[in-house]
Amino acid sequence: MYPESKFNLVLIDVLDNELPTIKATVEQLIFPRNTVLDFNIGTALWCAARGIGYLYETKESYSSGARVLLCGIGSDEQLAGYGRHRTSFNRGGWSALDQELDMDIRRLWIRNLARDDRLISFHGKEARYDCKLFSDIVEIHFWMKNLLNFVEQVHCGT
């Protein structure tokens, strides 16, 4: 896609003893969100945006000077990746699942993107999202894109 560009997969490890030193910063950046999930996602994004880790291919220590990060976001919200999606399906079938996914997609911009942008921009970096892919997935009928997540359950008749 970009033959003139070199992309590196940088693996990031966050050690337990490092968490107390970044906790207050992450909590401030995820505010007003304050769930354990928001903190865990926030910590992962904050550390990834910092860009200090090691290269996947060579295992060499690496500090990224990249100013733009390619981010994948919204796949759980679009493809029924959370446990509550299965709960919605169990309680009300495809209709309830469709309503839950629609709610997730409508609030993704407020709930996730604002939080994630604050975490990434803290390091002077900019997040980029594949809006075409996102919109293409949104256009697929919900039961088609989520069928594999629920096929075992449907097959078993539960």
pLDDT at 101 over 80: yes
At 34-56, the pLDDT tens digits run 899 899 999 999 999 999 999 99
What is the C-alpha separation between 50 and 47, in angstroms, rounded? 5
- Summarised one tens digit per residue, pLDDT across range 63-73 is 999 898 888 77
Tell me the whole-structure pTM to 2 decimals: 0.74
Residue 150's pLDDT band (cuts 50, 70, 90): low
Three-class secondary structure assignment of 110-138: HHHHHHHHHHHHCCCCEEEECHHHHHHHH
* 6: confidence class by pLDDT, cuts 50, 70, 90: confident
Judged on CB neighbours under 10 Å (0-12, 13-18, 19+), 89 is buried
What is the CATH number that goes with domain 10-155?
3.40.50.620
Q: Write the burial class of residue 146 (CB in 10 Å: 0-12 exposed, 13-18 middle, 19+ buried).
A: buried
* Structural domain boundaries in the chain: 10-155
